[in-house]
Amino acid sequence: MSNGVLVFAEQRDGHFKKAGLEALSEGRRLADKTGGSLHAVVIGSNVQGLAAEAGHYGADVVHVADNAALAKYSTDGYAKILTDVVRDVQPAVVVASATAMGKDLAPRVAARLGVGFASDVTETSVDGGAFTVVRPMYAGKAFAKVAFNRAPAVATLRPNVFAAAAPDAGRTAEVKAVGGVVVDGLAAKVTDILAAAGGKIELTEADIIVSGGRGIKGPENYPLIQGLADALGGAAGASRAVVDAGWVDHSYQVGQTGKTVSPSLYIACGISGAIQHLAGMSSSKFIVAINKDPDAPIFKVADYGIIGDLFEVVPRLTEQAKALKAKA
């Protein structure tokens, strides 16, 4: 494998996403294995200052496309810019994060380049100079080891699976401005973004997630879930049954038709454990299930289980979490 690694380092509002830093760190590890350089691509508005930070996380060269018209994500605009940089650098591997943006952008770039693409990767390796990845299939029932028959190999990395390295403030990178950025005449442009209230941790990047299922009985009880999540410094999620009932917004849904998450701790409250839900959270490092039904399928995947009424258990856990935080 030659010509190094190129990473699309995702940022939002002038700050790298956690998943973007994870991608940079994994890109550095891959580049070290092959002796190649790590190129980072940063796209947005007023993002010149991020070049130095990308260098701290291992980038040797940072390509910056800075334009006011790129402040909001544009499928056509971002795909054209990233494709042009890839063609210029000629890397062996291109990686991005398996976020909403990365899932939209990376396959478009692969299609424009006419190369192979692997999504939601959970493991990478370099075997005999060849780049290979492992990705889940069939809702996590099987794992495929994927090899690429031509360069560059394009892949998206599942958030919270690849650890972000500690930044090295003494490390610097060469900065290159991306020239010829054309943002006029795009087939579509973003005119408005309806964002959730600020201050909440994004579900796919949370290290701790507390999710509620049909067992919470109604939308008036969802604050119990949110309260425990807040006390633990995590994010609140939900099963599809809760979303379909209209108790919370679809953005909270964890599962096959929702978001795939890989937190260090996942607490399932009143969730039976249907296969569709397990597909979205079974890669969590530790799973705690709270359910009054001892035969609930969720206990088969849980590391720890509490057989009890969530309306009694969750408030007590919240109290204990707040007490521990107060002592810290």
Domains by residue range for the chain, with CATH: 5-177 (3.40.50.620), 203-327 (3.40.50.1220)
pLDDT of residue 38: 97
175-204 pLDDT tens trace: 999 976 666 666 677 777 766 554 578 898
Q: For the residues 25-50, what does the mean pLDDT come to?
A: 94
pLDDT of residue 295: 95
Q: What type of residue is 179?
A: G
Higher pLDDT, 16 or 325: 16
Residue 2: pLDDT band (50, 70, 90) is: low
90-113 pLDDT tens trace: 999 999 999 999 999 999 999 999
Host H or E run for residue 208: strand 208-212
- Locate 34 and state its tokens: 């092959």
Q: For the residues 56-72, what does the mean pLDDT come to?
A: 93
Q: d(Cα 9, Cα 102) in Å, to the nearest integer? A: 10
Q: d(Cα 206, Cα 252) in Å, to the nearest integer? A: 12
pLDDT of residue 130: 87
| Beta strands 15-16 and 11-12, pairing class | antiparallel
Contacts 24+ apart (CB under 8 A), 110-115: 110/154, 112/79, 112/83, 113/83, 113/86, 113/87, 113/152, 113/154, 115/148, 115/150, 115/151, 115/152, 115/153, 115/154
How many helices (H) does the chain have, and how many strands (E)?
Answer: 8, 17
133-152 pLDDT tens trace: 999 988 778 899 999 999 99
Q: d(Cα 315, Cα 224) in Å, to the nearest integer? A: 7
pTM: 0.86
Q: For the residues 31-51, what does the mean pLDDT come to?
A: 93
Helices (H), 37-99: 50-56, 75-89
| Residue (of 116, 124, 123, 125) closest to 154 by Cα position | 116
Asked if the model's pLDDT at residue 318 lies above 80, the reply is yes
Residue 219: pLDDT band (50, 70, 90) is: very high
The most confident of 62-76, 120-134, 239-253, by mean pLDDT: 239-253
Asked if the model's pLDDT at residue 25 lies above 60, the reply is yes
* Secondary-structure breakdown of the chain: helix, strand, coil percentages, each rounded to the nearest 5: 35, 25, 40
Helices (H), 48-184: 50-56, 75-89, 100-113
Measured over all CA atoms, what is the biggest interatomic distance in the chain, rounded to whole angstroms?
Answer: 62
Q: d(Cα 288, Cα 303) in Å, to the nearest integer? A: 6
Asked if the model's pLDDT at residue 124 lies above 80, the reply is yes
Host H or E run for residue 325: helix 310-327
